[in-house]
Chain A
Amino acid sequence: MPRHAASSAIAMLAAIVLTGPAAAETASQDVIFAEDGSVAAPLSDRPGDAAEGARIYSDKGSGNCVACHVISTRTDAEFQGTIGPALDGAGDRWTEAQLRGIVADAKRTFPDSMMPSLYKTSGYIRPGDGFSGKAGTEPLPTLLSAQQIEDVVAYLVTLKE
């Protein structure tokens, strides 16, 4: 076996070992949105992890929801934005399916919303390659993975007043 093939096989093995059995995920273009923007079916067959969702929520490099939203209990986040509504009680106001729809593509629930579509890959004007300022090629990688969306949704449903 050529050397590079062997090492890439090892890399693949390592990836499988590290992430566990791959969860079945719904691709961006296959997500079914109801008329009100909600998404009933989970995007991944592995249940969302609320603790991981809380981390993604405030992580600058992934969800960065904290850039625009305040949650009063999140005193761990150094700065919280005021662009969107405070999310205290979001789990009372919205069903899990509605929250999934908002996180996957908020513009289906709130037309023209400033909130980015986190599980969308194409249809952009001058799409970039991340934050490089250079051109990107559609389909772009989604801003959050299917599993990350489920994790964030699992966190949001815990936000009760």
Chain B
Amino acid sequence: SWPVAAQTVPERTDPIVINDGELQLETVAPAPAHLEGALPELYSGWLFRDPGTQAMQTDDFENPGMIFVDQGVDDWNTPDGEAGKSCASCHEGIESMAGVRAVMPKVNAEGQLWSMEDYINDCRTNRMQAEALDWNGNRMKNLTAAISVQSRGMPMNVAIDGPARPFWEQGKEMYYTRYGQLQLACANCHEDHYGDWIRADHLSQGHTNGFPVYRLKQAALVSQHNRFRGCIRDTRAETFPMGSDEFRALELYVASRGNGLPVEGVSVRH
């Protein structure tokens, strides 16, 4: 019951049609120039999932991630911390975040590369006098999910030049490093072998435009850094911590490989 020959190009490249046509997300995009032919085309991770998993992402009532989006929106509107403010006190409706997910991570005014989680915690600690949220905690994942959905359909477009360049170079170096006792780089699986099966897993190009994703296996939202951690751990390597500078750099590089694919978050994966 496995394919005899791997298909490098997915058999079908239909768009993801959400809520009976309310929104249509393309699943193929031209590869950005910086990839220099390393990928002939970009394919959404959705194309590599089984039909049942795919279907869940086409209806917001069936998409289990949407419950967490609702919880994130509630948090957005709820005052917290000594300043007595909510996110909405300054940013108003969460729709104001449209476009933010498509350009994350990005370099802040101080020249540091920040993920969305960093911007959220900066607002919480410095503007709300509230405690920082755990990188991988439910409240943080709910907020990043709620903010991501506001950009659904917008093409990923992270900046890789100017102040972002050194971070991008660092992430690229990591992407091609063969970590761990199994000596496997991200590129071994997601560039050289997407479309192939690694035992029961159908390898995708490993894009991040669907994050945070709802993973059926974990029955929870999964952040980008948690996914990276899992992939590196599976090479029998010492991983990097979530929220580390290394993972921010990797996040930027991986995001740039997907520049042009629409923001899908919250996507559903198995």
Contact = CB atoms under 8 A, between A and B. Distances in A.
Do these two chains really belong together in a complex?
A: yes
Interface of A: 60, 64, 66-68, 70, 78-83, 107, 114, 116-117, 124-136, 140, 143
B233 A131 contact: yes
A133 B2 contact: no
Contacts of B196: 81-83
A127 B199 contact: no
B178 A79 contact: no
Interface in B179-222: 179-184, 188, 192-193, 196-200
A126 B197 contact: no
Contact of B237 (A114, A125, A143): A125
B177 A133 contact: no
Given A114-B192, A116-B181, A67 B199 contact: yes
Contacts of B188: 114
A70 B233 CA distance: 25
Contacts of B147: none
B183 A116 contact: yes
A128 B184 CA distance: 13
Interface residues of B, number: 30
Nearest to A133: B233
Nearest to A116: B182
Contact of A127 (B4, B180, B184): B180
Contact of A136 (B4, B178, B181, B234): B181
Interface of B: 2-6, 177-184, 188, 192-193, 196-200, 229, 232-239
Most chain B CB neighbours (cut-off 10 Å) among A68, A107, A125: A125
Contacts of B6: 82
A66 B3 CA distance: 14
Nearest to B2: A80
Contacts of B177: 125
Contacts of B200: 78-79
A125 B178 contact: yes
What 7 A-B pairs are tightest by C-beta distance, nearest first?
A: A133-B233, A79-B200, A135-B238, A67-B199, A133-B239, A82-B6, A126-B238
Contacts of B4: 70, 82
23 contacts: A70-B4, A80-B199, A81-B2, A82-B6, A82-B197, A83-B196, A114-B184, A114-B188, A116-B181, A116-B182, A116-B183, A116-B184, A117-B183, A125-B178, A126-B232, A126-B237, A127-B236, A131-B233, A131-B236, A132-B233, A133-B232, A136-B238, A140-B181
A60 B201 CA distance: 14
A28 B5 CA distance: 35
Dominant secondary structure of chain B at its interface with chain A = loop
Contact of B180 (A66, A80, A83, A126): A126
A124 B183 contact: yes
Contacts of A67: 198-199
A116 B200 CA distance: 18
A117 B184 CA distance: 11
Contacts of A130: 236
Contacts of A60: 199
Contact of A68 (B192, B198, B235): B198
Contacts of B181: 116, 124, 127-128, 136, 140, 143
A140 B200 CA distance: 27
A67 B152 CA distance: 35
Contacts of A79: 2, 197, 199-200
Nearest to A75: B1
B197 A81 contact: yes
Contacts of B235: 128
Contacts of B198: 67-68, 81, 83
A44 B229 CA distance: 37
A112 to B, nearest CB: 9
Given A125-B177, A133-B237, A135-B238, 5 more contacts: A64-B199, A124-B183, A124-B237, A126-B237, A133-B238
